[in-house]
């Protein structure tokens, strides 16, 4: 059984968040869970999948978002229970 993970990329602005989401789903076998508008222009994009795919996706998403805006945080949470 593969371990699942959640990956998050937080950006300043919606444009960078859209770029991150696009890069994440195109670069690895992950599912887009959604996004959260935090306030003050911060947007967090969330994906899920196996640990390796989520790590690759968040790396690609952060790199793409940096090309058009500001990345505030990148985080991967490993799940210890089946999702």
pLDDT one-digit tens code per residue, 54-83: 999 999 999 999 999 999 999 999 987 655
Domain ranges of the chain: 4-78
Topology of domain 4-78, CATH: Alpha-Beta Plaits (3.30.70)
User: In this predicted model, what pLDDT tens digit does every residue of 5-55 receive, in sequence order?
Assistant: 999 999 999 999 999 999 999 999 999 999 999 999 999 999 999 999 999
Let me know if 81 is exposed, middle or buried by CB neighbors in 10 A (0-12, 13-18, 19+).
Answer: exposed
Q: How far apart are CA 9 and CA 26, in angstroms?
A: 15
User: pTM of the full predicted structure?
Assistant: 0.92
């Amino acid at each position: 059984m593969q371990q699942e993970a959640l990956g998050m990329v937080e950006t300043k602005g919606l444009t960078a968040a859209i770029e991150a989401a696009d890069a994440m789903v195109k670069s690895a076998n992950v599912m887009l869970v959604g996004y959260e508008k935090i306030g003050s222009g911060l947007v967090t994009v969330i994906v899920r999948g196996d640990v390796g795919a989520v790590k690759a996706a968040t790396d690609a998403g952060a790199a793409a978002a940096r090309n058009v805006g500001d990345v505030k945080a990148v985080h991967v949470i490993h799940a210890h229970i089946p999702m």
